[in-house]
Amino acid sequence: MLAANRVPSYVLPQPWEVLQEAEAWIRSGKLWPHLLASVLREFGGFGAATLIATLLGLATGRWRSFREFAQPLISLFMSIPPIAWAPLSLIFFGIGYLSIAAVIFVASVFPMIVTIQDGVLAMRDGEIRAARMLGTRPIQLFAHVYLPASLPFLTSALRIGFAQAWRALVAAEMIGASQGIGWMVAMGGQVGNASQVLLGIALIGFIAWLMEGLVFQRIERQYAQWRGQ
């Protein structure tokens, strides 16, 4: 508030100016298409990354030979900034849903693989041997031993993956999109509308806060109930 009072409003708007900007976007109906576009891109890329990361994370944790083969590749791709893939994705898929979803996928899948892999490696050998002695089949071993034991790490993987995916989404929308929250921030900066920029930033933080409260914390509570049983 003090900073906003000392700095011109076109540089750092007052909170009530940002609220007025939000009201204008809501009343005009322009906000909802941008929100929907970002959410669909996020959950498309992040959902695919979650599925692939779960399978590969379990596999790399379970089989040492596969882990030794895959680990250098995972480390290589993790070291590349996700936004670096945006130009290549635009060349392959053009401006639209697929190009941004691909960037989101690449940004989130590799950190999730490593986190889930660590969960499998943290398992005690006695649990695995006991399951095998009871005649557990490989698929049952994954479904009833490896996956439940990896649940705490899976929750961490989802948090990390979503954060990486959300950052990549906003950055990719700034480069190659005609709508979305990232587009709102970029266009607000180009036309000098600081209120629009701050509105976009507030929406980014608000959606991340909703995911934490409505999804990740509920998964943790469910896991706690399961472990108690």
Instruction: Say which range, 14-23, 37-46, 142-151, 161-170, has the weakest mean pLDDT.
Output: 142-151
Question: What pLDDT sits at residue 226?
Answer: 56
Angle between helices 31-62 and 151-176 (to 10 degrees): 140
The model's pTM is: 0.79
Say which residue, 197 or 130, is predicted with more confidence: 197
Contacts of 102 (CB under 8 A, 6+ apart): 45, 85, 89, 92, 93
pLDDT over threshold 50, residue 51: yes
CA-CA distance, 154 to 112, in Å (whole number)?
8
List, for residues 154-205, the tens digit of each pLDDT value. 888 888 888 888 888 888 888 777 788 888 888 888 888 888 889 988 988 8
Contacts for 46 with CB less than 8 Å, ≥ 6 apart: 104, 105, 108, 161, 162, 165
Instruction: Determine contact, residues 37/177, Cβ cutoff 8 Å.
Output: yes
**Domains contained in the chain, number:** 1
Contact 216, 155 (CB under 8 A): yes
Q: What is the mean pLDDT of the chain?
A: 81
Give the domain extent around 115. Answer: 2-228
Give CA–CA dist 183/172, Å, rounded. Answer: 9
User: How large is the average pLDDT for residues 105-118?
Assistant: 90
pLDDT band at 52 (very low <50, low <70, confident <90, very high): very high
**pLDDT (0 to 100) of residue 53:** 92
Note whether 83 and 172 are within 8 A (CB): yes
Residue 77 sits in a domain of what CATH number?
Answer: 1.10.3720.10
Across 23-31, average pLDDT? 88
